[in-house]
Structure 1
Amino acid sequence: MSLFMDIHHVEGGVKAGDVAAAHEKDLSTQSEFGVNYVKYWVDEEAGKIFCLVDAPDAEAANAVHAKAHGLVADEIYPISAEG
């Protein structure tokens, strides 16, 4: 498993409550793909969502979003927990 940070860009902003609901759907879907969504952060005004995910690969992480609610990440980066 590897850590990834995914980034979503939502035109016009986003509401934290909507992101929380989508995250709950991720949590109920993630085991099917061997993924663990660890934490997320929201910048409502900028329309940015950041998700920290432990996954076998970036495709598996995005597959959870796709199946759970259809809001796949615009960007996804491998990250290191070290440091």
Structure 2
Amino acid sequence: MATFMDVHHGMTGITPEELEQAHQADQRLEREEGVHFKQAWADPASGTVWCLSEAPSADAVQRVHERAGHKADEIHSVPYSV
């Protein structure tokens, strides 16, 4: 499994509750694509949301996000971490 960081723009004003709901929507669908969403962060002022996941591919991550109703604007592979 590879690690991915994806980015969503345009979510200005997102609340902690809305972030949790979006994360849970992803988690309800993740098994179908072999994805595991580990964590999500949000900056309501800029409208940016970041999601960290493990998945077989960036396409699998995007399919889950699209089905959950919040397509990612960017998906980045994370080849190294410490």
TM-score by length of 1: 0.90
Matches within 5 A, 1:12-23: 12-23=12-23
1:10 counterpart residue number: 10
Q: Percent identity?
A: 37
What one-letter code is carried by the residue in structure 2 that aligns with 1:5?
M
Gaps of at least 5 residues in structure 1 are: none
CA contact (8 A) 1:38 1:54 kept: yes
CA distance in 2, matches of 1:66, 1:25: 11
Asked if 1:61 is matched to 2:61, the reply is yes
TM-score by length of 2: 0.91
CA RMSD of aligned residues (A): 1.3
What one-letter code is carried by the residue in structure 1 that aligns with 2:60?
A
Gaps of at least 5 residues in structure 2 are: none
CA contact (8 A) 2:4 2:58 kept: yes
SS in 1 for 2:67: helix
